[in-house]
Amino acid sequence: MSFLSALYAGEVVHARSRPSKHRLRYRVFSLLLDLDELLILDRTLRMFGHNRWAIFSFHDADHGDGETGGLKTWVAGRLSAAGIKTDDLKVRMLCYPRIFGYVFNPLTVYFCEKQDGTLLAILYEVCNTFHERHTYIIPAQGKGADVSHSCAKELYVSPFMPMDCRYDFRIRPPGEKVRIAIDESDGEGHLLFASFSGERREISDGALLKSLLTYPLMTLKVMGAIHWEALRLWMKGVPVHRHLPAAKSATSSVVSMESEPRPQS
């Protein structure tokens, strides 16, 4: 059986430019999940579960407002608040799955489209290790074209990055390849480049098993890498910025090309 959902195997790259240069590169894979296919994926694949335990699983509680069964409704609500019609909505999410019940998603990207593939908006759901997440809702137009847009940083992410920063996104929407590239800068200029580039694989039990063997315990390694790289940055003497707790554990903001983000929830 062929699905719109897929698996993307590739690599993550981070390159910090100051005050100390720092670079990392590691192999990962992400799942691209069509929200309308979650039930059939759950019923068809032995190695994948939706809102239940499986070797690979996706849980609504890890995203949006955390309400089970309401993720697409939550996305539609965010889009409506941005003035985007949602009566012909398709949502595909690029994220890490839970593996043996564990996941940490630093960034989940929602591609919000019409059924004909026309891109309406991209949602960037950023999570930190303090169990806080913030979603940037950014309108977009086009079909099959690369996307570029920017927004102000709204959520504390790393103790080694200041809050007064901007994100510049350059996106190649999912096709045979996908690319998510982010430049972070402050008032003094460029600070960090981060990207994920991956190639499409059909999603199947065989592909999931191969990924399990190729990237064993990947989601645990993601968290381990975050702390290891933090230790390396601390040893290099990079200044530490104190965590400022978010008002709520899950918030969002609508971003327009003409204005700064406006809080939504």
pLDDT tens, 205-248?
Answer: 999 999 999 998 898 888 888 888 888 888 999 999 999 888 89
27 beta partners: 11
Residue 4 maps to a domain: no
For residue 142, the model assigns a pLDDT of 67
Task: Name residue 10's beta-bridge partners.
Answer: 28, 198
Least confident segment among 2-16, 27-41, 132-146, 175-189: 132-146
Question: Which pLDDT belongs to residue 228?
Answer: 86
pTM over 0.85? The answer is: yes
Lowest mean pLDDT among 86-95, 100-109, 166-175, 230-239: 230-239
Task: Give the mean pLDDT of 1-7.
Answer: 91
Distance between CA atoms of residues 6 and 203, nearest Å: 5
Domain that holds residue 58: 15-263
For tokens 């897929």, what's the residue?
Answer: 6
Q: Which two tokens stand for residue 246?
A: 């978010």
Residues 6 or more apart from 217 whose CB is under 8 A from it? 99, 100
Q: What is the pLDDT of residues 160-217, one digit of tens each?
A: 999 999 999 999 999 999 999 999 999 999 999 999 999 999 999 999 999 999 998 8
**Residue 153 pLDDT > 90, yes or no?**
yes
CB–CB of 127/157 below 8 Å?
no
Measured between alpha carbons, how far is residue 62 from residues 49, 90, 125, 133 in Å? 14, 20, 11, 10
The answer to the question of residue 217 being in a domain is yes
Percent of the chain's residues with pLDDT above 70:
95
- CA-CA-CA-CA torsion sign (115, 116, 122, 126): positive
Q: Hey, how many other C-beta atoms are within 10 angstroms of the C-beta on 18?
A: 13
Q: What is the pLDDT of residue 259?
A: 45
The encoded tokens of residue 235 equal 């040893």
Q: Is 179 within the bounds of a domain?
A: yes
Q: Please indicate, yes or no, if residue 5 is contained in any of the structural domains.
A: no
- The answer to the question of residue 1 being in a domain is no
- Position 264 scores a pLDDT of 56
Strands (E), 132-216: 133-142, 147-152, 166-172, 177-186, 189-202
Domain count, the chain: 1
Res. 139: pLDDT tops 90: yes
Distance CA 141, CA 227 (A): 37
Is-contact 63 78, C-beta < 8 A?
no
Residue 218 maps to a domain: yes
Q: Is residue 8 part of a domain?
A: no
Token pair for 162? 């200041």
Mean pLDDT of the chain: 93
Residue type, 165: C
Q: What's the pLDDT at 201?
A: 97
Check whether 262 has a pLDDT greater than 60.
no
Determine the average pLDDT of the residues in 11-38: 95
Q: Is residue 10 part of a domain?
A: no
